[in-house]
Amino acid sequence: MVVMGIDPGFGRIGWGIVSYTNQKEKLIDYGCIETTPKSPLENRIYQIYKEITALIKKHHPNTIASEELFFGNNVTTALNVGQARGVIMLAAYQNKIPMFFYKPADIKLAVTGYGKGDKSQIQHMIKLILKLKEIPKPDDAADALAIALTYCYTNKSIHI
């Protein structure tokens, strides 16, 4: 099974692709989609859609996992990230790929064994689990890999 993890954002969207077969994890690829802050909103949204679609065509994930959105008081950020999330969902839907969403505490629990783990603990575990020489950079990509692994560890249908 190939899983694409998405760390949603607007200026930067982390993505990570892992395979999970016979309860063994393997890194396929990871990176970030970065949009230009001064570009018009519609250009940035289209760029996100286009790049996610290209990643789907290249890696053929069976599923896409993403972090659930939570924002405190910054309405503008919430709206922009929500729009980015919408085009990611559209790309998944157009390619008949199911999407799953996880709360930050669930991601921390799945990857570190502790629901209140910090970013450095998650990054360290990603390095260990995927047998990497160094922690994936930028942080958004490491987070996306953690989200992909969360799907692998928590989805009961792939453990049958």
Question: Annotated binding site for Mg(2+), which residues?
Answer: 7, 67, 140
75 Cβ contact partners less than 8 Å away, ≥ 6 residues apart? none
Do residues 6 and 15 lie in contact, with contact meaning Cβ atoms separated by under 8 Å?
A: yes
- H helix runs in the chain, sequence order: 41-59, 75-94, 104-112, 119-129, 139-154
Active site residues: 7, 67, 140
Q: Annotated binding residues, as ranges? A: 7, 67, 140
How many Å apart are CA 113 and CA 55, to the nearest integer?
30
How many Å apart are CA 92 and CA 101, to the nearest integer?
13
